[in-house]
Amino acid sequence: MLKNIEISNKELIILMAGFIIGDSIIVNIARAVKQDAWISIIISWVFAYVLIGMYVYIAKLNPNKTLIEILIDIFGKYIGRILSVLYLWYFLHLSSLIFRSYSEYISIVVFPETPRIFITAFSSVALVIGLKYGLETIARTSMIAFIIPPISIIIILLRSFKHMDITNIQPVLEYGMNPILKTSFGLLTFPFGEAILFLMIFTFVNKKEKILKSSFISITFVGVLLIIISLMNIMVLGPEMINRNYFNLHRTSTVVPGAIIDPFITVSQLVLAAIQIWICIYSLLIGITQLFNLNDYKPFVIPIVIISVSLSNWLYNNVAEMFRIAQEIYPYYAIPFQFIIPIIILIISLIKQKGNSKSTST
């Protein structure tokens, strides 16, 4: 159906890492637990291995099938299609969320006087061009561009070393484990659980045996980076500021006297958001072509991006609402997409496979 698109495992690692970090630097749910944020990140990180391992296992049980095909396969034509439409809505919603948070960030921090919709629209031009070129081009460009975020984080880390106060981490576990567990559940859904999207991308990897290893490398990388950022923010800014401030990393970078670190974060933010939006919209496009049995997704790129941009403007009224919903509502909203349906798929796939092996052995 679709022509041979191939990405290598190295590119998969970078796409996955970029995708998972994506927005979580801006919309940082772990703020709620103040100085224990790093603990909840570690907890969700550990569980992420299990969750994403489950996704990879689903991909292994249904080889060469994307998520939409698996859904139609397992649940039958009608329910499968309804579920696919729901997932397509989930992808679209996710991409608008990222558009919104990214343009809010740029609009508030860098260009306060420019209307936000304009920033979104202008950034979407680059995204459209990337999508029209295809997945291979996106993967190659991400490989080159992905050097920037870790380097900028390291630069900030080095420069803010003397401003760090390690006593800011104390008192540890001040509010008990309950809030920490609640936040780590939220962190598991956003950012780690979004890797469900990659079930659409796994079919394009050329060496499928190495997918598990690549995913684990990505998660390790992401976890380490997030913990470093979180610890750095806590130590430099202190727990109260973490909770009250929306954009912690940016605030950390401005603490250091010397204004050149700012653009680095903006650029790394663009890179990460771009990777995430690309994967989201690409999965959406592939899903549409598979749902309607088409050959090519290229014609629909621009309309879908326009809808996504338009939706991003429509979603919330202001920044505060965005953060509130990300904190309180989003984890529960993502449960069916990231946990319930995949677990059902896993169980049914296992049953099917046992049935298959039984029938072939007899």
Contacts to another protein by CB under 8 A: 3-6, 8, 10, 93, 106, 110-111, 114, 119, 122-123, 125-126, 129-130, 132-138, 140-141, 143-145, 259-260, 262-263, 266-267, 270, 274, 288, 292, 294-296, 298-300, 302-304, 306-307, 310-311, 313-316, 325, 329, 332-333
Residue nearer to another protein on the CB measure, 10 or 354:
10
84 in Cβ contact with 291 (< 8 Å): yes
Residue nearer to another protein on the CB measure, 32 or 39:
32
Rounded to an integer, what distance in angstroms lies between the CA atom of residue 104 and that of residue 320?
11
Q: Smallest distance from the beta carbon of 302 to another protein, in angstroms? A: 5
Residue 131 in tokens = 């999508």
Rounded to an integer, what distance in angstroms lies between the CA atom of residue 323 and that of residue 328?
9
Residue nearer to another protein on the CB measure, 42 or 325:
325
Residue nearer to another protein on the CB measure, 234 or 280:
280
Q: Smallest distance from the beta carbon of 229 to another protein, in angstroms? A: 21
Q: Smallest distance from the beta carbon of 201 to another protein, in angstroms? A: 14
- Angle (nearest 5°) at CA 242 between 239 and 246: 165
Closest CA to 165 of 110, 223, 238: 238
Q: Smallest distance from the beta carbon of 327 to another protein, in angstroms? A: 12
Rounded to an integer, what distance in angstroms lies between the CA atom of residue 255 and that of residue 236?
8
Residue nearer to another protein on the CB measure, 75 or 316:
316
Residue nearer to another protein on the CB measure, 61 or 88:
88
Q: Which residues of 126-149 are buried (b: 16+ CB within 10 A; e: fewer)?
A: ebbebbeeebeebbebbbebbebb
Q: Smallest distance from the beta carbon of 270 to another protein, in angstroms? A: 6
Compute the half-sphere exposure of residue 286: CA atoms within 13 Å on the CB side of its CA: 27
Closest CA to 29 of 13, 18, 40: 40
Rounded to an integer, what distance in angstroms lies between the CA atom of residue 98 and that of residue 64?
28
Closest CA to 68 of 278, 282, 274: 282
30 in Cβ contact with 41 (< 8 Å): yes
Q: Smallest distance from the beta carbon of 267 to another protein, in angstroms? A: 5
DSSP state of 318: S
Q: Smallest distance from the beta carbon of 281 to another protein, in angstroms? A: 13
Residue nearer to another protein on the CB measure, 254 or 348:
254
